Amino acid sequence: MKPLAVLAAALAPCLAGADQLPQGLLRMSEVAPWIATDIRYAREFNFTGGVVPGYEAAECIVTEATAAALIAAEESLNADGYGLILFDCYRPQRAVDHFLAWAGSGKAGVVDEVFLPGIDRNRLIGGGYIAARSSHRFGATVDVGLRRIGDPMLYPQHVPGQRCDGPVAERPMDSSLNLGTSFDCFSPLSALDAAVPEPARRNRERLRQAMQDAGFASYAAEWWHFRHATDPAQVALDIAVD
């Protein structure tokens, strides 16, 4: 694995092409296009049931240090035949506001049956599932999944009757690997240490270990959520992802 300092230096020439972004932020598609992406809020299949405001393009935007750490985690996983899937990175405040409005609307959506198994939408904020001040706003927090190198990307779509914490054959699969739940599943089974079957537990640990070794801290309630622990606090921004 390359030292993080070497990786960070390798990113420097790419920063000149990171137009329209504040200094210190960059697009992963420009520095590491080999890392798989499924930026979920840029398409309709996410818990809101539609493209989220601020996600005009399916781009993963992060700080320089976070980008270097993601590349390190990817290289570590590649050595064992695995790789990352980037689901979400920098999140505009307008997207956070949209989540809050969606949760407080009380309306039932067509994909609620998928992402909200056994929980009412109006309980998501009080239950800690949706935050008014998301750490994603700083560009150092990412939502990631795990894939097996060589397997095709799945890009799940809405299938009536599926639920995110159901059996493998009855839930949207983000990759060919079992992680216990789908990404963004509002369920107790999404907790990092939830009692999920052995293949899923092993895959979660593989992902967590690679991210931790690269300098990320995990989040107990969501197996996919990681914050770059050594990145200094940034000023929260509200720029469109384009």
Cα separation, 145 vs 84, in Å, equals 6
Q: Is 74 one of the catalytic residues?
A: no
Selecting among 59, 64, 74, 222, the annotated active-site residue is: 222
Rounded to 5 degrees, what are φ and ψ at 25? -105, 150
What count of Cα atoms within 13 Å lies in the side-chain half-sphere of residue 44?
Answer: 7
Q: CB of 76 within 8 A of CB of 1?
A: yes
Which residue numbers are catalytic? 222
